[in-house]
């Protein structure tokens, strides 16, 4: 936590004076945008990303790739009617090279996806970032790269800061890693694997893998770019992924809306008994956020998916839920916020790995909801939430975007919630406060004046 005005400012969360009724256009997926950038930078020909997410995490990824020699040209067509104003990025692969310094911020995708790319560069690439990035695990990527022939100087930390001494190529081959603390370790090594001289045979050893939909997203995007990938789900050996050496195609990729970032808006419909439509919700997707359709329906709403998008409708009642979120852990803060407003107890399981995310999300949610009068306790692998009448107060975010949006959801029903550092939402959801107040509309939102 810093003492700058941006971090200490308190945002009075608007109260909903009635059911919401809105259409909210959600920006593009961070997960798809950053995977698309990496694959395009490694391709054998130029490609396009259309409707990319422009946020702190994606801009850090783009700047890092530029620093290593990739050309990225940004264009905007004001005549387009899509959500980004027709924004498109043309990615022009070039010889990857150092020396360069990469600022990862606190972006897991940047700190984990780019060291394998750096191993293919000609020269040293130094990685550093926000103080919290030094605490986040990176050992799976480091151990895997060393097994594949890379030279990395991390002074034995298994975390940032570190330098990857790229040799212009990487042998590849077999590697064993423990990815139980982050599925991004697997995705990181798979994304660059087609460029390794021998491809990769990657074996996960350890506890169950979290966030499997994100690995499936990586595999699907690799295959769409021309890579040959053998996976456990496709009849391969359990816990083993194989990617053959090959050239990658330059694609013209339209980025889906970020379904996880749609969560607070769908939650608003649920907790106010209203209705929210998210345009362009895909019929088929590997995004974890698609699980919200089932989870929020079980908690008391209903949804309809049409050609226009997903419409979610609340009933005016919110029910507790007992759910394993191991595959969709990033949804936990928003689900916890809804559960704190429910009519019965909730148990959120399978998310012990959230203690290693942007912050310790389990400890943070417990502390902040309880300080508003809630009754949340940590379990070995999640949270137990017993609804209690809540009251206003400051909700700290710990530089975590999903803590900020969770606080906004609670603020719809609880007067006097003030969100510390709502600006942290720019990590993946730029201009969240404007989107939130526009969803509520002037007739339905009541933002209390901040005290002091």
Report, as residue numbers or ranges, the catalytic residues: 330
DSSP 3-state assignment of 383?
A: strand
Q: Residue 140 contacts by C-beta under 8 Å, 6 or more apart in sequence?
A: 177, 178, 179, 181, 182, 185, 186, 188
Element (H, E) at 57: helix 56-67
> The tokens of 341 are what?
């407003």
> The tokens of 66 are what?
């530029």
Give the integer Cα–Cα distance in Å for 160 and 153.
10
- Contact present, 28 and 398 (Cβ < 8 Å): no
Q: Residue 233 contacts by C-beta under 8 Å, 6 or more apart in sequence?
A: 216
Q: Residue 168 contacts by C-beta under 8 Å, 6 or more apart in sequence?
A: 120, 121, 122
- Would you give the DSSP letter of residue 450? P
User: Chain-centre distance of CA 303, in angstroms?
Assistant: 23
Angle at 201 between CA 144 and CA 220, to 5 degrees: 100
How crowded is residue 90: how many other Cβ atoms within 10 Å of its Cβ?
A: 17
* Residue whose C-alpha is closest to residue 329's, from 286, 268, 264, 381: 381
Give the integer Cα–Cα distance in Å for 347 and 229.
36
- Contact present, 184 and 358 (Cβ < 8 Å): no
> The tokens of 311 are what?
């419409």
Q: Which residue has the tokens 């990035």?
A: 133
> The tokens of 55 are what?
């946020």
Quick one: 234 exposed, middle or buried, by C-beta within 10 A (0-12, 13-18, 19+)? exposed
Which residue(s) pair with 48 in the sheet?
90, 252
Output the CA–CA distances (angstroms, integers) from residue 162 to 10, 187, 353, 360, in the order listed: 35, 20, 23, 23
Cα dihedral across residues 337, 338, 344, 349: positive or negative? negative
Which residue(s) pair with 417 in the sheet?
393
DSSP 3-state assignment of 439?
A: helix
User: Chain-centre distance of CA 60, in angstroms?
Assistant: 14
């Amino acid at each position: 936590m810093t003492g700058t005005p941006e971090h200490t400012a308190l945002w009075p969360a608007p109260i909903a004076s009635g059911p919401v009724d809105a259409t909210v256009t959600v920006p593009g997926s961070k997960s798809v945008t950053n995977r698309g950038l990496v694959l395009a930078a490694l391709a054998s020909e130029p490609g396009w990303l259309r409707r990319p997410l422009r946020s702190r995490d994606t801009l850090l990824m783009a700047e890092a790739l530029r620093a290593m020699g990739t050309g990225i040209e940004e264009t905007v067509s004001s005549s387009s009617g899509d959500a980004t104003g027709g924004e498109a990025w043309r990615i022009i692969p070039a010889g990857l090279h150092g020396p360069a310094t990469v600022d990862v911020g606190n972006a897991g995708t940047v700190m984990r996806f780019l060291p394998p790319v750096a191993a293919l560069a000609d020269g040293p690439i130094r990685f550093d970032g926000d103080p919290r990035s030094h605490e986040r695990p990176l050992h799976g990527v480091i151990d895997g790269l060393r097994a594949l022939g890379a030279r990395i100087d991390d002074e034995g930390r298994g975390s940032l800061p570190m330098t990857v001494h790229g040799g212009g190529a990487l042998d590849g081959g077999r590697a064993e890693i423990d990815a139980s603390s982050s599925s991004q370790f697997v995705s990181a090594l798979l994304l660059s694997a087609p460029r390794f001289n021998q491809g990769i045979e990657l074996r996960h050893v350890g506890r169950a893998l979290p966030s499997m939909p994100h690995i499936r997203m990586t595999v699907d995007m690799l295959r769409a770019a021309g890579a040959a990938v053998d996976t456990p789900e496709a009849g391969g050996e359990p816990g083993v992924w194989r990617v053959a050496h090959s050239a990658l195609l330059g694609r013209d990729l339209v980025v889906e809306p970020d379904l996880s970032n749609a969560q607070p808006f769908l939650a608003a419909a649920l907790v106010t008994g209203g209705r929210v439509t998210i345009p362009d919700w895909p019929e088929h997707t590997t995004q974890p956020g698609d699980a919200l359709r089932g989870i929020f329906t079980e908690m008391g709403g209903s949804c309809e998916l049409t050609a226009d998008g997903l419409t979610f409708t609340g009933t005016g009642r919110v029910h507790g839920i007992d759910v394993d979120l191991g595959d969709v852990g990033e949804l936990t803060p928003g689900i916890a916020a809804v559960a704190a407003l429910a009519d019965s107890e909730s148990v959120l399981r399978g998310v012990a790995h959230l203690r290693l995310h942007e912050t310790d999300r389990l400890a943070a949610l417990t502390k902040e909801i309880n300080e508003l009068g809630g009754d949340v306790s940590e379990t070995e692998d999640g949270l137990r939430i017993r609804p209690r009448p809540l009251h206003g107060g400051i909700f700290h975010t710990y530089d975590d975007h999903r803590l900020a949006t969770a606080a906004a959801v609670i603020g719809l029903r609880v007067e006097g919630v003030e969100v510390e550092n709502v600006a942290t939402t720019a990590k993946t959801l730029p201009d969240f406060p404007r989107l939130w107040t526009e969803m509520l509309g002037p007739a339905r939102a009541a933002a209390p004046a901040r005290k002091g």
